[in-house]
Chains A and B, each alone.
Chain A
Amino acid sequence: GENVEQHPSTLSVQEGDSAVIKCTYSDSASNYFPWYKQELGKRPQLIIDIRSNVGEKKDQRIAVTLNKTAKHFSLHITETQPEDSAVYFCAAIASGGSYIPTFGRGTSLIVHP
């Protein structure tokens, strides 16, 4: 089955700095990669996603890159703000089966004002 590794587990940055979270996956059939943000005690919320036919996608301060050959994808947050502090999860989903997502272990992002 699919295995998703996510790093780092904790990331501490100063307000205004950039933050990068990286994930690798093992199943070459995976072709959809969503990212979720979960604030303490709340639901995970989809913040951006990318499909395997695209190498990069950007939405304001958030961008995701995908390298299919290396089987890794990354979340980039620029000009971080304290409200970006949360746990971020990456996921990988393969088509052609039951489309069950495999989540990474999560990254706790702390943005210091």
Chain B
Amino acid sequence: GAVVSQHPSRVICKSGTSVKIECRSLDFQATTMFWYRQFPKQSLMLMATSNEGSKATYEQGVEKDKFLINHASLTLSTLTVTSAHPEDSSFYICSARGQITIGNQPQHFGDGTRLSIL
């Protein structure tokens, strides 16, 4: 159980292109989804937290107009990198978590998307 599917796994595109990444929870309802960025040999950097049906909460320093997040349903969240530039090249990972009832619950991660902007 608790499977999170992330697509695409790899994107290579030209500078100025907008890229959409999808994150789906396949067998549970994800009340909350997280989007992370990970640089080589570094930890997970939280970009934003999204709750179904409401606007995403962005971490300090993350441009909300650059990284558009939509969480329209309990099983799908999307991250769109608008007008991507080479400095946006990175490994983006989503994670999903079900509703908090008693105590905390672990997050379940997608496979990640390797984004390369030429």
Contact = CB atoms under 8 A, between A and B. Distances in A.
Contact of A89 (B41, B44, B108): B44
A101 B107 contact: yes
B42 to A, nearest CB: 7
B116 to A, nearest CB: 13
Contact of A51 (B46, B93, B103, B112): B103
Nearest to A43: B109
Interface residues of A, number: 24
Interface size class of B (residues with CB under 8 A): 20 to 34
B103 A42 contact: no
A99 B112 contact: no
A85 B100 CA distance: 32
List the 8 closest pairs (A to B, CB-CB), nearest first. Answer: A32-B104, A43-B109, A105-B43, A46-B106, A34-B106, A93-B104, A44-B109, A106-B43
Given A32-B103, A43-B109, 7 more contacts: A43-B110, A44-B109, A46-B107, A51-B103, A95-B103, A99-B100, A108-B41
